[in-house]
């Protein structure tokens, strides 16, 4: 698998690159797998593709703090990311990994692989809910996916030094909650991993045998997606449904 550690200058470009890597693989006509890691240099709210802004985000607080609000092409609820939150994106081949064609199996496969890779550092890390990684009963990673015909984009967050109080200021309680949350507010539910970012990157690379560094990336597609989609979102409702998956 190829590995790309690349953080672009803006939130829009960073989200666009995840999608562009999926589109690139799908257009290749052959399996093309990539692990990307990145970290935003500023806080940002990212809505799921079907999220309702005012149901999940404290819009006035975000405006006062200068925190941008964007929407990703995958499912799930709104998240807040930024410095102290490592982001990862996996583009995986469904031809090579046919089990990934089932959404529940995709979540289970990816998250169990990551948990196993981090086990030497945090042995109690495990999957819970639909797509969370949990340590000591608290969520440390949220994840979502988008499937196309031949490839899957699976991406998520890994908190390691994030100011969790900012989440309480910017995000409402999500409309859908896993049973293990038990109605807990954000500060009682979320936690940071006791692992530095460099170690997280190393563990992810080892987990997926991402030992082929790539210097190239789809620059033109990122510019187009950032301009046409990520900087032009209709915030009061979800975007049109994609016909090719979650």
Q: How far is residue 162's CA from residue 140's CA, in Å, rounded to a whole number?
A: 10
pLDDT of residue 220: 98
For 100-146, how does the pLDDT look when each residue is reduced to its tens digit (9 = 90+)?
999 999 999 999 999 999 999 999 999 999 999 999 999 999 999 99
Phi-psi category of 29—alpha, beta or left, where left has phi over 0 and alpha has psi -120 to 50?
Answer: left
Per DSSP, which regions of 99-191 are E strands?
126-128, 132-135, 138-147, 151-159
Residue range 134-162, pLDDT digits in tens: 999 999 999 999 999 999 999 999 999 99
| CA trace torsion 220, 226, 229, 234 (10° rounding) | -170
Q: State the Cα–Cα distance between residues 95 and 31, nearest whole angstrom.
A: 7
pLDDT at 239 over 80: no
Q: For the ranges 72-76, 78-82, 179-183, 220-224, which has the lowest average pLDDT?
A: 72-76
Q: What is the pLDDT, as a whole number, of residue 236?
A: 41
Report the sign of the C-alpha dihedral through residues 94, 37, 212, 210, in that order: negative
The CATH fold of domain 2-230: BirA Bifunctional Protein; domain 2 (3.30.930)
C-alpha to C-alpha distance for 30 and 107, rounded to whole angstroms: 23
Nearest to 224 by CA among 235, 232, 236, 216: 232
Structure-token match 């009682």, residue found: 188
What is the gyration radius of the CA atoms in the chain, in angstroms? 17
Is 229 exposed, middle or buried, given 0-12, 13-18 or 19+ CB atoms closer than 10 A?
Answer: middle
- The structure tokens listed for 101 are 């064609």
pLDDT given for residue 50 in this prediction: 87
Residues 6 or more apart in contact with residue 70 via CB below 8 angstroms: 11, 12, 15, 44, 45, 46, 47, 230, 233
For residues 40 and 132, give the distance between their C-alpha atoms in angstroms, rounded to a whole number.
21
Name the band, by pLDDT with cuts 50, 70 and 90, for residue 229: confident
Q: Quote the pLDDT of residue 233.
A: 52
SS (H, E, C) 191-232: CCCCCCHHHHHHHHHHHCCCCEECCCCCHHHHHHHHHHHHCC
Q: What is the pTM of this model?
A: 0.93
* Closest residue by Cα to residue 167 from 190, 138, 142: 190
Q: What is the dihedral of CA 59, 60, 65, 70, to 10 degrees?
A: 20
> Which parts of 36-185 fold into alpha helices (H)?
53-56, 59-65, 103-118, 164-170
């Amino acid at each position: 698998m190829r590995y790309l550690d690349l953080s672009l200058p803006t939130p829009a470009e960073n989200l666009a690159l995840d999608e562009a890597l999926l589109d690139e693989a799908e257009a290749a006509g052959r399996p093309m797998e990539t692990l990307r890691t990145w970290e935003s240099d500023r806080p940002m709210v990212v809505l799921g593709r079907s999220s309702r802004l005012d149901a999940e985000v404290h819009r006035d607080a975000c405006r006062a703090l200068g925190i941008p609000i964007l929407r990703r092409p995958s499912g799930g609820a709104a998240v807040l990311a930024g410095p102290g939150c490592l982001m990862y994106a996996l583009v995986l081949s469904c031809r090579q990994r046919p089990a990934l064609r089932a959404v529940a199996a995709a979540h289970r496969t990816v998250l169990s692989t990551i948990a196993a890779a981090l086990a030497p550092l945090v042995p109690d890390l495990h999957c819970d809910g639909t797509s969370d990684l949990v340590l000591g009963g608290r969520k440390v990673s949220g994840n979502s996916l988008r499937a196309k015909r031949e490839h899957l984009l699976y991406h998520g967050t890994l908190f390691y030094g994030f100011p969790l109080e900012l989440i309480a200021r910017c995000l409402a309680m999500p409309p859908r909650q896993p049973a293990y949350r038990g109605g807990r507010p954000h500060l009682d539910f979320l936690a940071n991993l006791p692992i530095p970012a460099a170690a997280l990157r190393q563990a992810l690379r080892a987990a997926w045998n991402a030992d082929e560094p790539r210097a190239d990336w789809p620059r033109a597609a990122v510019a187009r997606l950032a301009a046409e989609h990520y900087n032009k979102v209709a915030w009061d409702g979800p975007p049109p449904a994609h016909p090719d998956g979650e």
